[in-house]
């Protein structure tokens, strides 16, 4: 083993990266544009066929009256919550303690919109109906993330989502879906995107996470809601003179991968079972409910990194470019299955896990 090589460097050099769809480089754009007629007109400040047709396509797919394309999901979700709060005059929303808005956006919701979040439930589990019923302060909107990324991509049962939606409707509370990875949960729920979105007043979908586009998101809801969101998009500087590079790549990869989520889901269950067969390794959840899950290794961070670097260098199979320390004796990483997994033969994969298991045993 190269003692000076980092985990990131070993991952980059590996022949068979397991997660995702492949490298995020200029080729992603080149593939998306390969069959595009060069005379296709650009969108201009949110207007034009290329953006309007795509927005209509996504509204229909999500079962909503209208949709608008945003350069980022962060912008889209803050605006959605701002609109709902403005309508009631009550600047309070509820979401999970590990919601993206709470831990990854530098308090944008609070600083830009002066919205007060109510953290619902416990950080290590999903929001439950009982959490809503137990809280005693008025709330304008509840945000649900499906799947809940920071706790391994866990999902509530579909019946639980229906119960929460019914409660929100009965109490006059709006329900917003953080559906960044909405497509990835469809195989588990055995529902269409429109069926799930029908439970929510507004919906956000990302085009770069599970789908692998360059960037961008769509926000969908009723026509009045989307009309307001378009105004807020301009206020946020989201109306770039042209968004077509993002839209064309979003459309291309949406078409390429929307029907492959079952394949990714089954792949996630296969590889999770291989991890769980290794001593001192567990996945969260044990049986994935989407294409994404977390892998926990019962080793100090530096020991786990050394083991993984050896596995990557000896087998060419790489699981993750980084590890997160959970305690002095435990670390973890996230794994999302995409096109890359199908490029690895079962023989190569099983050989890599045999090496991984042996090195774990030797380090005990």
348-359 core/surface letters (b: 16 or more CB in 10 A; e: else)? ebeebbebbbeb
Q: What is the mean pLDDT of the chain?
A: 96
Which residues, at least 6 apart from 234, have a Cβ–Cβ distance to it below 8 Å?
46
Cis-peptide into 193, omega within 30 deg: no
Percent of the chain past pLDDT 90, that is, above it, reads: 97
Q: What is the pLDDT of residues 158-172, one digit of tens each?
A: 999 999 999 999 999
CA Rg value for the chain? 21
pLDDT bucket at 355, cuts 50 / 70 / 90: very high
Residue 4 is predicted with a pLDDT of 58
Reported pTM? 0.96
Please write the tens of the pLDDT for every residue from 103-148.
Answer: 999 999 999 999 999 999 999 999 999 999 999 999 999 999 999 9
Distance CA(190)–CA(151), nearest Å, equals 22
Residue 2 has pLDDT above 60, yes or no: no
Is residue 311 within 8 Å of 352, Cβ to Cβ? yes
Structural domains in the chain, sorted by start: 7-19+260-362 (3.90.1150.10), 43-241 (3.40.640.10)
What is the rounded CA–CA span in Å between residue 254 and residue 13? Answer: 29
Cα gap 148→122, rounded to integer Å: 12
Cβ atoms within 10 A of the Cβ of 148, count?
Answer: 20
Give the strand order in the sheet containing 324-327.
Answer: 281-284, 292-297, 330-336, 324-327
Query: Is 60 exceeded by the pLDDT of residue 1?
Result: no
Instruction: Evaluate if residue 329 carries a pLDDT over 90.
Output: yes
Per residue in 233-263, pLDDT (tens digit) is 999 999 999 999 999 999 999 999 999 999 9
Query: How many Cβ atoms sit within 10 Å of the Cβ of residue 162?
Result: 14
Q: What is the mean pLDDT of residues 67-82?
A: 98
d(CA 154, CA 145) in angstroms, rounded, equals 10
């Amino acid at each position: 083993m190269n003692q000076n090589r980092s985990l990131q460097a070993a991952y980059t050099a590996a022949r068979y990266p397991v997660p995702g769809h492949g490298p995020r480089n200029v080729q992603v754009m080149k593939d998306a544009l390969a069959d595009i007629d060069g005379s296709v007109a650009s969108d201009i400040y949110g207007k034009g066929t290329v953006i309007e047709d795509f927005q209509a396509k996504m509204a229909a797919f999500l079962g909503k009256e209208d949709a608008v394309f945003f350069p980022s999901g962060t912008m889209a979700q803050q605006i959605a919550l701002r609109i709902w709060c403005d309508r009631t005059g009550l600047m309070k929303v509820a979401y999970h303690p590990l919601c993206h808005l709470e831990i990854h956006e530098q308090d944008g919701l609070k600083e830009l919109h002066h919205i007060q979040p109510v953290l619902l439930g416990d950080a290590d589990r999903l929001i439950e109906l009982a959490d809503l019923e137990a809280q005693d302060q008025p709330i304008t909107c509840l945000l649900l993330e499906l799947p809940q990324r920071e706790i391994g991509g866990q999902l509530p049962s579909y019946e639980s989502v229906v119960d929460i939606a019914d409660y929100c409707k009965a109490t006059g509370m709006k329900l917003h879906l953080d559906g960044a990875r909405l497509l990835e949960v469809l195989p588990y729920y055995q529902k269409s995107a429109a069926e799930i979105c029908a439970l929510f007043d507004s919906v956000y979908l990302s085009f770069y996470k599970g789908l692998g586009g360059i960037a961008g998101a769509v926000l969908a809801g009723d026509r009045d809601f989307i009309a307001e969101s378009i105004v807020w998009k301009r206020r946020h500087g989201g109306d770039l003179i042209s968004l077509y590079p993002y839209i064309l790549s979003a459309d291309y990869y949406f078409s390429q991968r929307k029907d492959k989520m079952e394949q990714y889901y089954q792949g996630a269950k296969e590889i999770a079972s291989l991890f769980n067969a290794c001593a001192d390794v567990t996945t969260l959840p044990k049986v994935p409910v989407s294409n994404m899950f977390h892998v926990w290794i019962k080793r100090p961070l530096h020991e786990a990194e050394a083991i993984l670097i050896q596995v990557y260098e000896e087998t060419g199979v790489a699981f993750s470019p980084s590890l997160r320390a959970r305690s002095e004796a435990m670390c973890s990483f996230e794994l999302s299955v995409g096109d890359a997994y199908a490029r690895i033969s079962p023989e190569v994969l099983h050989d890599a896990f045999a090496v991984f298991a042996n090195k774990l045993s030797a380090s005990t």
